[in-house]
Amino acid sequence: MARRGGNPDFGTKYRFDNGRSEPLSEQVKAQVHPDIKRQLKDLADQENCTVPDLIREALEQYLASKQTTQAS
């Protein structure tokens, strides 16, 4: 039951949209050296994106290259 005086549009009108066709629901954690983290942050600033976006793109490229290598 909803709270009296609550916002009925909270779950629909104010929903976060990341602009992707598939939702991002899984997490992967990796520990890196502080220098690498700084380099990633600097690169993300240059590319005008976020560090997680850079890492996602790098992982996708790595997996695609592995699949083409195994298919050969």
Q: Where are the domains of the chain?
A: 34-71
- Burial class (CB within 10 angstroms; exposed 0-12, middle 13-18, buried 19+) of 33: exposed
- What is the pLDDT, as a whole number, of residue 56? 94
Residue 1 has pLDDT above 70, yes or no: no
- pLDDT higher at 10 or 31: 31
Is the four-CA dihedral 51, 56, 60, 62 of positive or negative sign? positive
Question: pLDDT of 16-62, one tens digit each?
Answer: 777 778 888 899 999 999 999 999 999 999 999 999 999 999 999 99
- What is the pLDDT, as a whole number, of residue 52? 94
Residue 13 has pLDDT above 80, yes or no: no
* pTM of the predicted structure, to 2 decimals: 0.68
